[in-house]
A and B are shown apart, each in its own frame.
Chain A
Amino acid sequence: MASLGRAERWFAARGWRPFEFQREVWSAYLAGESGLIHAATGTGKTYAAWWGPLLEWAAEHPEEILDLDAPAPKGRNARRAAAAPLRVLWVTPLRALAADTEEALRAPLVSSGIPWTLESRTGDTTPAQRARQGRRLPTALVTTPESLSLLLSRGDAPELFADLRLVVVDEWHELLGTKRGVQMELALARLRALRRGVRTWGLSATIGNLDEAAEALLGVGERAMPARIVRGVEPKEVVVDSLIPPVVERFPWAGHLGTQMLPQVVAAIEEGDSAIVFTNTRSQTEIWYQAILAARPDWAGRIALHHGSLDRRQREWVEQGLRTGELRCVVATSSLDLGVDFSPVDRVLQIGSPKGVARLLQRAGRSGHRPGATSRVTCVPTNVLELVEVAAARDGIGMGAIESRPLVERPLDVLVQHVVTVALGGGFRPNELLAEVRSTRAYADLRDDEWRWTLDFVTNGGEALRGYPEYSRVVTEADGGRWIVDDAGVARRHRQSIGTIVSDAQIAVQYLRGGALGSVEESFIARLKPGDRFTFAGRPLEFVRVRDMKAWVRKAPNVKGAIPRWMGSRLPLSRTLAERLRARLDEASRGIFRDAEMQAVRPVLEVQAKWSRIPRADELLIERVKSREGFHLFVFPFEGRLVHEGLAALLAYRIARLRPITFSLAANDWGIELLAPEEAPLEDALAAGLLAPTNLVEDVPASLNATEMAKRQFREIARVSGLVFPGLPRSGKTARQLQVSSGLFFDVLQRYDPRNLLLTQAHREVLERQLESSRLGRTLERLAAARVVVTTPKRTPPLAFPLLVDRARERVSSETLAERIGKMQLALERAAG
């Protein structure tokens, strides 16, 4: 076995010493093992994974190591041709991280004389670079799951990976529990089949279900690799504190603060030389960037914003600025709490709810980066009630209550996409591919009928399409052997849709004079008229027109107008944090207000207690309020938004069974609102078992069918499985004639192919993933045992207020359409109304 000496010397030359866990990983890798490394960000996971393959190559090729004192070697192209073929794939979840990862990996190559080529390949890669990589891949390639799937769809995929030794999956916890993570599992299984003995190492933050994370990474069953789970350095001490609003208004805004905390935020940034201000959404990033800049115009050029929808060049400029210390403040989303490596900043601020314990820890880790040093995160409430969540998160950290990432079970849309990918990438034989697919954790329990349906779907379109000769996506080769794609149009559209697994159709935003700014969702641009102003990438812009799949803009004189919103950006409160939140409210109901946060929120909670009640841990609070809008029922289970959405539908469905009524539903992390034009029969419903955890098998699906949730969930499924496409660049008439909304697709499938498994999947996803149905069941058991307290406040109390103003609504109705619209009016042209 190769010695670790070369790595030890490289560390020593920098005045460092390898951590014990790094040595453990190097030895394990050299012994042929795979595994999962978990530790906080910035504690040396990268080099733990990277030095193994370097040591291995050096031991195999001692004569090829460059003499660093010798004259510079020959030209670039000659070097490229001579360099070793692809040996290491480094997969990172965000393309924003690729450049930075590349830089970190390059350092040891240069100073150790290892003549590898190292490049990135992501959605940001230029066509020229792509073409060069098309001819020959570098020795080590940094890429994203989508770009890896694209490589697997190349006809020469089997040859590309012939010399592959190691796949590293960086930030595995970010991919875990998402469809991109499942896509990654399938890609890993493919790589293991193409290249026997390839090793896999995952890098992850510490999460509650590391064993499952390792299984998902390394596969299950006969083909599974034994997993070594390596724990990195101990997490440093973490301090969580808050900026407390000087005056907490008890009402009427129910504690909504907006950017009122700006002076304190600016003061906190001033305390150090560098700061990161984290927000929960990309829109918030834009808002706070503008606010800070308006407060300190002298910081222009030394403050920046960073989120995943910005153009690559802007992100790189920001990352570089953080590294060199030129930037004193960056406003960012999670695009910066992941691996990008820069020196720790002096202050980390978190705007809005922490949402989860692990997430807050990760963000805190951006300060005081040195192992062992103290990390500190300062939370900034945007609503005073969020202070309770901060206190709850601190409790969670103190108890070591780190969230698990629930995994996704056998999503057929991702499988459909993968099967077409493999058909493109050299083709497959069904039995071999089935064994490969079942070696992943996500599809270990894939049923035979589901597999047959998938094959059927990609070949002849499924049951409802039998006998349609014009349809073919995947075909069997004439000699009866492999299943392949032989249609250029199918291939092109498929490759286009691989990249869209995560988001809605995006449209690039570009200045008329040239510069690219980034991308926003098409639906946002669709609402703009020429001349409208909006703010994006921190700049005031005027919308000119859409052409060639781009939104063309020019600079606007001042900041006015809308800020783009991105879908799916509302993260729910984690279960762990929800539990701690209930405990804190229970204390408050007994008059106990520990910590500065609870003291600050006390006046608001006292109004709540006076007008209604602060629910104890064993109570369920229901508030009935009458307003100009109608009759509101506010219910407070404190279980997180996803569970609440399901619960809202279920409760509305059960009440609506008693008599014809139509509810408009809202849900947030704390509770539920059921709003109706007439008073709901609450007492009758409670007596009839409104909260009973029985009949869930019938009632839950029935209540979901009463809403449009499955139809909305189908948007993503339709995209992933290639039923609808993002706008194709350079698309002519033909592409326009293939445009259809996923909603229409859903309706047509329901009517003409009701047994289509993608529909089944939409319902299942709403149940399992969207609503965390297991959690819904547990919640109902808790609520059924709880004491129900019904209050009838005259005005909307503080806890209910955020629900009252929530705009996102679902509907459950037991009235006929005609009855309903009999009570409605036409929404007229905006100018008239």
Chain B
Amino acid sequence: MSDERISVRGEELVLLPERAAYWPARTTLLVADAHFGKAATFRAAAIPVPAGTTDATLGRLDALVDRTGATRVVFLGDFLHAREGRAPATIRALAEWRGRRAALRVTLVRGNHDRHAGDPPRELAIECVDAPAIEGPFAFVHHPAALPEGYAIAGHLHPAATLVGRGRQAERLPCFWFGAGCAVLPAFGEFTGMASVEPSAGDRVFVIADDRVIEVR
């Protein structure tokens, strides 16, 4: 794994190829768009999405907590995908994970899917707050926006950057996108897609190339 570091308003953030960011000063992992229960939502509508995406997403989260030593996780919205996805098996998997990680503090900044899906069940012990959640120089939100309260760290877009090269080469990769007043993190969930973003000159963009985070310009 090869991370990248970026300094934002005097604070250091570590960008991780597992599609999350880490804030060492507060030992906090920032995770956007987990979309737990998305596959179950599809299955409930008789669309056969294979099982395993929830376990894989949780496995990646576990590995990240171990690797960084995080004591806290902030989900930047869209924790649960839909009300129909609150399947017993999904909730059970989340509860088991929470049991293993009882010492971890977990916060959810509500997003658009959370409004429809509802807050996670109480037994998951997840503190749920509305956006923006102000911490230090940052404003944690789901929807990207420039806010007076602080530098916004958001999700929602599932951003992907397009790279072009000589010989008509092109590549589309998930990315971290740092603009003037707002950053957008890649979507964390296994069963999530991407949407192309068009950064402006002056923005900083870090793509995820397999197990590496690489800044591109």
Contact = CB atoms under 8 A, between A and B. Distances in A.
Interface string B24-43: 00000000000000011111
Contacts of A27: none
B164 A738 contact: no
Contact of A825 (B47, B52, B216): B216
Given A470-B40, A471-B48, A740-B42, A748 B169 contact: no
Interface string B183-208: 00000001111000011110001010
A558 interface: no
A664 B169 contact: yes
B119 interface: no
A818 B214 contact: yes
B66 interface: no
A737 to B, nearest CB: 4
B81 A737 contact: yes
Interface residues of A, number: 57
Contact of A472 (B46, B161, B165, B190): B46
A465 B40 CA distance: 10
B82 interface: yes
A672 to B, nearest CB: 14
Given A471-B43, A490-B46, A826-B216, A817 B168 contact: no
B167 to A, nearest CB: 4
B193 A824 contact: no
A465 B43 contact: yes
Given A464-B50, A741-B193, A829-B200, A821 B167 contact: no
A820 B171 contact: yes
B216 A821 contact: yes
A817 B212 CA distance: 10
Given A741-B193, A825-B217, A830-B198, A752 B168 contact: no
B51 A465 contact: yes
Interface string A458-486: 00011011001011110000000000000
Contacts of A461: 43, 48, 50
B201 A832 contact: yes
A738 B47 CA distance: 9
Interface string B131-143: 0000000000000
A662 B214 contact: no
A324 interface: no
Contacts of A825: 163-165, 216-217
Contacts of B93: none
A752 B48 CA distance: 12
Interface string A652-689: 00000000001110000000000111000000000000
Contact of B169 (A740, A824, A826): A824
Interface in A181-231: none
Interface string B108-140: 000001001000000000000000000000000
Contacts of A610: none
Given A465-B43, A753-B50, A818-B209, A827 B165 contact: no
A751 B52 CA distance: 9
B199 A828 contact: yes
A88 B42 CA distance: 40
A811 B169 contact: yes
Contact of B166 (A464, A468, A471, A630): A630
B50 A465 contact: yes
Nearest to A463: B50
Contacts of A489: 45-46
Interface in A784-831: 809, 811, 816-818, 820-830
Q: Which of A470, A816, A830 has the most CB of B within 10 A?
A: A470
A165 to B, nearest CB: 37
Contact of B53 (A752, A811, A828): A752
Q: Which of A472, A493, A676, A828 has the most CB of B within 10 A?
A: A828
Interface in B69-91: 81-82, 84, 87, 89
Contact of A826 (B45, B81, B87, B205): B205
Leading 3 A-B pairs by shortest Cβ distance: A461-B48, A464-B50, A824-B165
18 contacts: A461-B50, A468-B43, A470-B44, A490-B46, A630-B166, A663-B167, A677-B166, A737-B113, A738-B47, A748-B190, A749-B50, A818-B210, A821-B173, A821-B216, A824-B164, A826-B217, A827-B161, A827-B170
Interface of A: 457, 461-462, 464-465, 468, 470-473, 487, 489-490, 493, 629-631, 662-664, 675-677, 722-723, 733-734, 737-738, 740-741, 743-745, 748-749, 751-753, 756, 809, 811, 816-818, 820-830, 832
Given A662-B169, A809-B170, A821-B214, 18 more contacts: A462-B48, A470-B87, A473-B48, A493-B46, A629-B166, A630-B168, A675-B167, A738-B47, A740-B42, A749-B50, A752-B50, A821-B165, A821-B173, A821-B209, A821-B216, A825-B216, A827-B164, A829-B199
